[in-house]
Amino acid sequence: MAEGLRLEKTGQARAARRGAILKAIAERARLEAPAALVEPELDRMIHELGHTLEDHGSNLSRYLAEIDKTEADLRVDWRTRAERRVKTSLIIRAIAKAERVTPTPAEFEARMQEVLRQFPSTKEAHSAFDPPELEAYTRGVLRTEKVLELLDSA
């Protein structure tokens, strides 16, 4: 039990440190977040909120009514956060490219197996996700993790 708490605290500290590093880099970067990327990021954020609400027995419409806002209001409120997420993503990609950071085939395969194990069958996994999109997403997550490890060790 104590070991689990220690590991959780260590993980939280690492996440906070990495978040601070990325925030500092994003604030110093002379980079504008293109609207063509910010709008889809806002869509993604709202979609994620919808899934989170559904997981807790609610839905987006009910939530918006409770907070007396529209989806358009939410988009305005969240625009700065979406811009920061886009900038951070672009910075991570640039670092990955400059440092030649890519997941190994073994890392990719292990992570794909991890994802697929969450489904009763491969067929159900393929119906839930478009395989090329899932592969691209998985590679992106692994690349981000490796860049964060690189930044954390610097």
pTM of this prediction exceeds 0.85: no
Confidence (pLDDT) at 59: 96
Confidence (pLDDT) at 125: 77
Confidence (pLDDT) at 105: 96
Confidence (pLDDT) at 54: 94
Q: Where are the domains of the chain?
A: 1-30, 32-98, 102-154
Confidence (pLDDT) at 96: 95
Q: pLDDT under 50 in the chain at which residues?
A: none
Give the whole-angstrom CA distance, residue 68 versus residue 135: 38
Q: Which of 37, 17, 21 is nearest to 92 (CA)?
A: 21
Confidence (pLDDT) at 1: 66
